[in-house]
Amino acid sequence: MKKKIFFGILVTAIISSILTVTAICMLFNIDAKSAVNLGRLLSAMRFIEAQYVNDVDKDKLIGGAISGMVRSLGDPHSVYLEPRLYSQLKADTSGTFGGIGVYMSFKENGVQILSVIPDGPGAKGGLQAGDSILAVNGQPINEIDYAEVALKIRGEVGTTVDLLIHRDGEEDKTYSIQREIIKVQTVSSKMLDDEMGYIRISNFSENTGKEFKTALNTLESEHMKGLILDLRQNPGGLITSCIEVAKEIVPTGPIVSIIQRDGTKEVYTSDLEKTKFPIVVLLDQNTASSSEILSGALQDTKAAVIVGVKSYGKGSVQTVIPMFSDSGLKLTIAKYYTPNGRSIDGVGITPDFEVPLENPLPMTRELNTDASNDAQLRKAEEILTEQIRG
């Protein structure tokens, strides 16, 4: 009798799935192979709903299926965003959010801190760019989906999160960081000696383009003859903000080309007649994504000299697609190419002058432009001085 009941349930699930698949295929004009795969998915879902030992949350089941599909791509930059994660992502790019003030990268070998917001809770708690996160509140990173790591690190303002950190040359150590509201000023600037201006961009968020233009205009009013653009520890961000900045300093022509799998090509261009002054760009191993787009455009158009070490090498483009139930899908849809047609994905930007950094960058709110402890900045000043003097 049990076998008959089981068989009946199985047949019902299969027939129901076939009818559902047939209707969906007719509606969306899906081919036979895709129809078979869709049938497999629906059959599994119906069988789980009918036979799993406990009650099944259907929304959670669908979310898990989508998440599993995305994980099968093997791309750390593509993730299914459940409602909490989707809400968090929107907060990330708004310029104000709660957390510990760090930017992270996700690779096969774990989670690494790309940069630390100056004077933020992470910086005050002792975290540094290059640190690897081994566990969050005692839970090993390899037991957490990458998409969940940031969510677990964030939380109610005033509470703490414990991070087990690996730092080269030191024993692994747990840091307790108190969460705060993070308000990000992405651009800071200063006039240096010898008519040199200095601008540092920490990341590209909604207001970065406006902040950069304001800083640039201020330095020009102070008779700047050359610019040092510091993109070290800049993990990237919004490509639209990167393009806004590029249009201020990249000469007429392409800034970046974005090419999708089917060959569809979108080219962002600059209408700037010519550069107004020489530029030296500072890079490090944590310079990534949109900051690599900007430095690559400046290098290819010979509008700037690049100093530092090879950049991170993230040359893919993601889009966020809103889905039902306040969730979203962040998916890699294209790769970007510099004006000369270079793809830097997994390769990075190679500096014109390779200069290692002897000491970690300072993590203070005030700009530290003392070149005596910064070999890369010293080299930038040397190059810029020669260019200004002709």
Marked catalytic residue, from 78, 257, 289, 290: 289
Q: How many CB atoms lie within 10 A of CB 316?
A: 17
Q: What is the pLDDT of residue 327?
A: 86
For residues 10 and 59, what is the distance between their CA atoms, to the nearest angstrom? 22
Q: At 374, which amino acid appears?
A: D
The catalytic position among 105, 131, 314, 379 is 314
From the list 88, 100, 89, the residue with the least C-alpha distance to 181 is: 100
Residue with tokens 């979108």: 266
The correct answer on CATH 3.40.50.300 for the domain covering 184-389 is no
Which DSSP category does 170 fall into? S
Per the CB < 8 A criterion, the answer to whether 320 and 294 are in contact is no
Positions of CATH 3.90.226.10 in the chain: 184-389
- Provide mean pLDDT across the span 176-205: 89
pLDDT at 87: 74
Is the model's pLDDT at 27 over the cut of 90?
Answer: no
Contact 166, 134 (CB under 8 A): yes
Instruction: Give the residue with greater pLDDT, 243 vs 82.
Output: 243
For residues 245 and 208, the answer to whether their CB atoms sit within 8 Å is yes
Q: Which of 72-81, 107-116, 154-163 has the lowest mean pLDDT?
A: 107-116
Residue 141 is given by DSSP the state: G
Higher-confidence residue: 8 or 131?
131
CA dihedral 29, 22, 328, 257 (to 10 degrees): -20
Asked if the model's pLDDT at residue 183 lies above 80, the reply is: no
Where in the chain are all domains bearing CATH 2.30.42.10?
Answer: 98-182
> CA torsion angle for 179, 180, 183, 184 (degrees, to 10)?
-30
Q: Mark whether 345 is an active-site residue.
A: no
Model pLDDT for residues 256-293, shown as the tens digit of each residue? 999 999 999 999 999 999 889 999 999 999 899 999 99
> Residue 40 pLDDT more than 60?
yes
pLDDT at 88: 67
User: In the prediction, which pLDDT does 364 show?
Assistant: 45
* Level-2 CATH architecture, domain 98-182: Roll (2.30)
The answer to whether 186 and 93 have CB atoms below 8 angstroms apart is no
User: Angle at which helices 58-71 and 32-51 pack, to 10 degrees?
Assistant: 140
Q: Strand ranges (DSSP E) for the chain?
A: 79-81, 96-99, 102-107, 110-116, 132-136, 139-140, 160-166, 173-178, 180-183, 187-191, 196-201, 226-230, 253-260, 265-270, 279-283, 305-308, 316-322, 328-337, 353-354
Instruction: Kindly list the distances between the CA atom of residue 149 and the CA atoms of 85, 105, 168, in Å, as whole numbers in the listed order.
Output: 10, 11, 22
With a cut of 50, say whether residue 365 has pLDDT above it: no
Give the per-residue pLDDT at 94: 57
Q: For position 204, what pLDDT does the model report?
A: 93
Cβ atoms of 104 and 149 within 8 Å: the answer is: yes
Residue-level pLDDT at 376: 94
DSSP-assigned beta bridge partners for residue 281 = 229, 306
Active site residue 314: yes
Task: Determine which one of 92, 230, 284, 300 is catalytic.
Answer: 300
Q: What is the pTM of this model?
A: 0.71
Q: Yes or no: say if 306 and 351 are a contact pair by the CB < 8 Å rule.
A: yes
